Amino acid sequence: MTRWQRSLAQRLLQAGLVALLVGVFSFLIMRALPGDAAYRIAAARYGYDLVDGAAAAAVRAELGLDGHWLPALGRWLADLAQGRLGVSVVSGEPVWHELLHELLPSLGLAAATLALVALLGLPLGLACGLRPGGRLDRLSLALAVALRALPPFALGLVLILLFAVQLPVLPAAGHGDAASLLLPALTLALPLAATAARVVREAVAAVAASAYWAFGRGKGLPGAVLLWRHGLRNAALPVVAWLGVQAVLLVEGVVIVETLFARPGLGHAMVHAVFGRDVPMIQGTALLLGALFVGFNALVDAACLALDPRRRDEAAE
């Protein structure tokens, strides 16, 4: 078995363990929450104005909420082993159908965020790395510290106040067009882009201080050619590896930002499922987010193999 096959097998095993742990912990946490779960589910089904004790009692009897939690967990694990995620206790629809409906908006938001990170962070980090210690470098450092210190919901509120209230050029909420995507994507992208710029800066500065860079400069190569031939690939490896670590922040940010900007998506669905005590939906959403995290890291591993010929040679052994 080659190293690449071993790596793929490890990622598949990791995805299975993540699915199992996330599903079990989601179930136990929802069971441990205080309050009447039957009343919450009935309120999510019929609305808080129409729910009463009789409706809650009917939901409790229908779902068997008075029984022990262990059989319910066993049924979910048995369904999961057969590739099923159960049925939403609020909508009555299969969880897979609900998740597929919410998946595309979340993927669109994540793709727009990564595009903005590449557009804003990479050129800034490149410029700072080629001139370390300059004004732009110091300004980039201060910007990175400030943006990383702000939680996503606070940054999102600042952007709404600035671009939707003071300068009404972008919508504060909604979905369906590119304008409504820009503020949520900026909320997620700005902290990541600021940190990406610092990672790129460190990688480029290390390359610029290397012997092969000095040798290329000594041969009289123009700056752009030197950067293209000897700089970008060597500097890209640590940046791509860093992206894999930041995937968890992207998943976490999607949950908050979709709720803040009232956008459809996995994060928005999970928050509504928590309020409605829709345990199968929570388990399915958490499981899918965990699987996306593992899949993203597998893509990062593949990109690192493509960028580094030494790793490709090891993988082929």
Work out the average pLDDT over 193-213: 87
**For the whole prediction, is pTM greater than 0.85?**
no
Q: What is the mean pLDDT of residues 172-200?
A: 86
pLDDT for 50 beyond 80: no
Q: What is the pLDDT of residue 159?
A: 92
Phi first, then psi: what are they for 87, rounded to 5°? -125, 140
| Local confidence band at 83 (pLDDT 50, 70, 90 cut-offs) | confident
State the pLDDT at residue 158. Answer: 92
Question: Residue 54 belongs to what H/E stretch?
Answer: helix 53-63
Cα→Cα distances 120→111, 155, 162, Å: 14, 17, 19
**Kind and range of the H or E element at 252?**
helix 232-260
What's the pLDDT score for residue 262? 84
CA distance 39 to 272: 15
What is the amino acid identity at position 247? A
In this predicted model, what pLDDT tens digit does every residue of 17-27 receive, in sequence order? Answer: 877 787 788 78
> What is the tens place of the pLDDT at every residue in 260-275?
888 888 888 888 888 8
Q: pLDDT band at residue 40, thresholds of 50, 70 and 90? A: confident
Exposure string (b/e) for 159-175, b if CB count within 10 Å is 16 or more? bbeebbeeeeebbbeeb
